[in-house]
Amino acid sequence: MEKIIAMLEELKSGVDFANETQLVTGKILDSIDITSLISSLEEEFDIEIGMEYMENSNFDSVEAIWEMVQELQD
């Protein structure tokens, strides 16, 4: 999960990503941030994030992002 936190910190500094649970719904990350994050996640973890994963709930917290990545790696 540290890699995901590092990716998020590159997008937006000054956010407590480890504890934040409303990254998208709280408007901390916008669509451009999410697009950049998806690209970074796909490259770093060698996964493909399909349209079925494009839901706010998959990107609202580091834990949710990590769970999605793990699911896609299986």
pLDDT in tens, 34-60: 999 999 999 999 999 999 999 999 999
**Angstrom distance (rounded) from CA 28 to CA 49:** 21
Whole-structure pTM value: 0.94
Contact 59, 23 (CB under 8 A): yes
Q: What is the pLDDT of residue 47?
A: 98
**Angstrom distance (rounded) from CA 49 to CA 38:** 7
Q: What CATH number has the domain bearing residue 24? A: 1.10.1200.10
Q: Which domain holds residue 8?
A: 2-73
The number of domains in the chain is 1
